[in-house]
Amino acid sequence: MKPRLRYYLILLLLISSLAFIHWLRNRDKIGKIPVTKGVSLEDALKLFPLAQKVVPPEKETGWTLVMDEKGETLGAVVLTSPFCDDIRGYGGSTPLIIAIDRDENIIGVEILENHETPGFLNRVKKMGFFQRWNGIGWEDPKVQEIDTITGATMTTGSVKSTLLKRFSLMDSGTTIFPQESPKGFSVRDGGIILLALTGMILCLGDTSKFNNYKIIRWIQIGVSVLFLGFVASQCLSMALLGGWLIHGVDIFANIGIFVLFVLAILVPLVTGKNFYCFFLCPFGGLQEIIFAISKKAKVIPKIKIPSNINGKIKYVRYIILVVILLSLAFNLGINPNHLEPFSAFLFLATGFTPAVGIAIFFLLLSPFAYRTWCSWGCATGGLIDIVKREKDDKSCQEDNA
């Protein structure tokens, strides 16, 4: 098979695979009228007097967001019925509506239509039983420590059991309130796009026309490591692409990284030169910096991988790419973040994760061999190389190996 025909067939297969993943993970949403579930606006008004809109949860058991007339999120509410109707008080079930604020602290618990004895229920209300949860995070263990009221044990016991069972049905540790999307074009976006453009110029331009080209390239790599890695924490990754395939992308809220992604795919597709991996990738740059320092010091011996072995190992990254794509398509539960080291730049926020372990391992290899992660394990780089036309891109890298 001719190389060019093979290239176009592989490219077609890749595009078809990505389109299939998007369709497979979103087929239940296509062409269907959304089913309203969660809490009605009428019920939400009981605890949020300024409520003008409710946003149903994705899962039936999740929180319903409550918004005011300006579209600002006030908090969230949830109903216990019908999920907890099997729990009985004196006169039957004790259905509740529970509200939390944006800090996920309980701000209100009210009982809805029920068959409890009015006298007992009024006594419970006057004693402030329903306010005892106020100010406590809904996932805080203190929620379970609220005592029932003597003389109304069946009613208050039912209320407590109902509340605890309803919380147990929630997805613990998940984000309830969506993060606010950045408004407009940010400094971070500008920095990402500027670095992308300078990387393209250095990669595609005639290096003989650049005075001190090597110095300029090291400055580009160093700034990319610091800014894209540690400051903006924006790296192209399979986790990023997977999130976009499944959930879509808000281009205007992610304009910087979106432009970088488009350029990182289009430039290799048109020119055959992979500028992202050799001029912008923070982890690739960090490996190269460590390798260059050790080479300059002439203390650590370099490991020369036999070409026949290296030629076989490099296919590991394509295997990882296929595993990630299959996991995304069939929801196998494999987190791409755990197969790539890029989130290690967020170590202070995330703590030790599999990504941090991968990062440490390949950084320890960096003094001995040139960009081992890029050559052997990077599925993102493999994806870009699949897209790249069959052209020599030595102008996009230094022969440090």
Residue 398 has a pLDDT of 44
- CB-based contact 149:156 (threshold 8 Å): yes
How far apart are alpha carbons 241 and 388 in whole angstroms?
Answer: 17
Residues whose CB falls within 8 Å of the CB of residue 313, separated by 6 or more in sequence, listed in order? 305, 375, 376
To the question of pTM greater than 0.75 for the whole model, the response is no
Q: Return the ∠ at Cα 65 (arms to 64 and 69), rounded to 5°.
A: 135
Three-state DSSP string of 87-127: CCCCCCCCCEEEEECCCCEEEEEEECCCCCCHHHHHHHHHC
Q: Is the peptide bond before 301 cis (omega within 30 degrees of 0)?
A: no
Give the model confidence (pLDDT) of 275-306 as tens digits.
999 999 999 999 999 999 998 888 788 788 88
pLDDT at 27: 73
In terms of Cα–Cα distance, which of 91, 96, 66, 99 is closest to 81? 96
Distance CA 204, CA 196 (A): 12
- What pLDDT score does 35 carry? 39
- The tokens for 116 are 């409890």
pLDDT number for residue 280? 96
The H-or-E segment that residue 55 falls in is strand 53-55
Which parts of the chain sit beneath pLDDT 50? 31-36, 181-182, 349, 392-395, 398-401
Type of residue numbered 365:
L
Condensed to tens digits (0 to 9), the pLDDT of residues 65-82 reads: 998 877 788 999 999 988
